[in-house]
Amino acid sequence: MKRRFPILALVLVGLLSFEAMAQTQRTPLTVTVVGAVAKPGTYPMNSGLTLLTLVAMSGGLQKSADSSMIQVVRLKEQAADSKLSEDIFVDFRKILSGKVRDFQLQPGDVIFIPFSTPLPRLTDPPVTPPLKDIARVEVDRS
């Protein structure tokens, strides 16, 4: 005698699977680091991942990094105040010196490590030498 599952049970299993899949898509199991690091990109999130470990995974800070104002953008679970994310600023120098504990990362965090020297703006006019410094070129018209 064959056992048949009620249609309702199959629908519930399908809904539970869909909810689990949707939950996985809402919370990425990665963190992203951009800015003044050797290898910016997206890295897998494992339990206990800290800012110090992520910086090491991304090849370390560049010489031009401003480690006093690292920004962590964290997605909020509940957006009751209409903000979907919060900005957290971390002084990485204090972590390195042992003055504060290492910063614990969460899945989906985006870490921006700023440059200490500002990048040139695209709105600045191009620098051209004065006309007196440009060599005169003679054209042979024969």
pLDDT tens-place string over residues 30-72 = 999 999 999 999 999 988 899 999 999 999 999 999 999 999 9
**Architecture of the domain defined by 27-113:** Roll (3.10)
Neighbours of 31 (CB within 10 A): 23
Please name the residues in contact with 36: beta carbons below 8 A apart, sequence gap of 6 or more. 61, 62, 64, 65, 66, 113, 114, 115, 116
Rounded to two decimals, what is the model's pTM? 0.61
Cβ 38 vs Cβ 60: under 8 Å: yes
Count of positions (residues) in the chain: 142
Residues in a beta bridge with 89:
71
Helices (H), 27-104: 51-57, 92-97
